[in-house]
Amino acid sequence: MKNHILGALYGLAIGDAMGMPSELWSRNKVKSYFGKIETFLDGPQSNEVAKHFTKGQFTDDTAQALIILDSLIETNFHPSKHVIAEKLLKWANHIQAFDKEILGPTSKAALQAIKQGQDPKKITEKAETNGAAMRIAPIGCLFRSNQSDKLINYVWQVSQVTHASDIAIAGAAMIAGAVSSAMEKKSWNEIMHDTIMIYNKAIGYGTETFTPSLKARLKLGLTYAKQFSNDEDVFADHIYDVIGAGVQTSESVPAALSIAYYTKTVERCAVFCANLGGDTDTIGAMATAICGAKQGVDKINKDYIRIIDENNQVDFNHYTQYLLKFREDVGG
């Protein structure tokens, strides 16, 4: 399990950092500016979000995932909305996330409300963006694939500080569930089947919204993956043009799951997502975490591991030890 937990954590960081320079740029702009991203790069000064980051640095996706873990470690993995909110707000203030536009729209609004002593419920219940899903991958490491009910309930408890809508919870549960199944060395078809089954249950959590079906969009993405198995560019075009690559959960989660299914390895997945256009760092973080969970850290490019270690002051072994320790306690 340690090998696969580390794979998920490094996959998360690698996809995030590789996708950082092109974050929130259109597919055409990414192509015209970079040609093709094939390695870790500095954030361009012309990118209002990425300009604050340098080569190999991960963004708020991985940072918030680790803050969630720090919060859980403090409470012996019994989720506390108060502790999670407190740590997220402390981190956001420390890195000037509000001023630098580093936060996603829903997390920013929810945390600002908390900062001002207001109830963020009106914001969190309408949350349709991917803030909950982008940071949830490590939670999948706590559960076996036959513990979907416990996984969904845990995702709900962890996420509702900033995201409490049905689609936000379902999207996050799908990403966590895919990581959980991938760790067990299931086939990619089995992983996607498990993920769809989780959606069927998780969509009942949170406040109801009128958003597209994540399940329907994922099934369409998987159809494209099979149809264009020998043409990566055409597959990418269909993901970008039809499924969508924006910050909405209804776009980015089925896109990430479809891409993980298509690319299968951390290296290919990270590069693919970085060049996709749209919310490249978040889609990269989610998709590549799933690939890393399946591969295990020992099969990930050692140069990628080194670059992440050298450019981020994080000890992933520290978090892995806690995830291993509480895997049986939480999952049961």
Tokens 């945390």 identify what position? 111
Print burial letters for 120-154: b (CB count within 10 Å at least 16), e (below 16).
Answer: beebbbbbbbbbbbbbbbbbbbbbbbebbeebbbb
**Binding residue per annotation — 279?**
yes
**Binding residue per annotation — 16?**
no
**Binding residue per annotation — 298?**
no
**Binding residue per annotation — 329?**
no
The CA distance from 273 to 285, in Å, is 9
**Binding residue per annotation — 59?**
yes
The CA distance from 135 to 256, in Å, is 13
Closest CA to 127 of 198, 206, 66, 73: 206
Radius of gyration of the chain (CA): 18
Print burial letters for 272-284: b (CB count within 10 Å at least 16), e (below 16).
Answer: bbbbbbbbbbbbb
**Binding residue per annotation — 129?**
no
Closest CA to 176 of 214, 133, 219: 133
Which residues are known binding-site members for Mg(2+)?
59-61, 279, 281-282
Q: Which residues are annotated as a binding site?
A: 59-61, 279, 281-282
